[in-house]
Amino acid sequence: MSKNGSTNVGNNNNNNNNTKKIKFSLNKSVQVTKVFAKENHRLTKNETIFTMVDTDHPDGKKEPFLSTVLGTVTKLYIHEWDTLSYGSIILEYEECLHTITFKNLCCDCGADLNQ
């Protein structure tokens, strides 16, 4: 689990073995205030997927929910003003297979394959 509450969950029984889910895994409820990710959007690490506020403090500061993965969003489950709790599915994404590389950089997602 990352510090922002996301977990990556393995295969979801699709035919595509590199499709995974991101679930919300903080032990509190939050309300989604703005969604930045869209289907077919390429996620990068530390990119804001959405902003949220704690439902116990709705007038509090908006916090970003950051991506911990590289991949392409295939299905988005959240919308603005949704309430998320532990285990809520945020999105499905397809991991990059890094099939085209140049000098240890992926030409599709830009990942440094030396790391």
Quick check: is 78 in a domain? Answer: yes
Quick check: is 18 in a domain? Answer: yes
CATH code for the domain of 38: 2.40.50.100
Quick check: is 95 in a domain? Answer: yes
Give the whole-number percent of the chain exceeding pLDDT 90: 60
Is residue 40 over pLDDT 50?
Answer: yes
The pTM of the full predicted model, rounded to 2 decimals, is 0.80
The domain tally of the chain equals 1
Quick check: is 112 in a domain? Answer: no
Please classify residue 96 by burial: count the beta carbons closer than 10 Å to its beta carbon, then call 0-12 exposed, 13-18 middle and 19+ buried: buried
The range of the structural domain enclosing residue 44 comes to 6-106
Quick check: is 115 in a domain? Answer: no
Q: Read off the pLDDT of each residue in 78-93 and give the average, rounded to a whole number.
A: 98
Q: Do the beta carbons of residue 88 and residue 24 sit within 8 Å?
A: yes
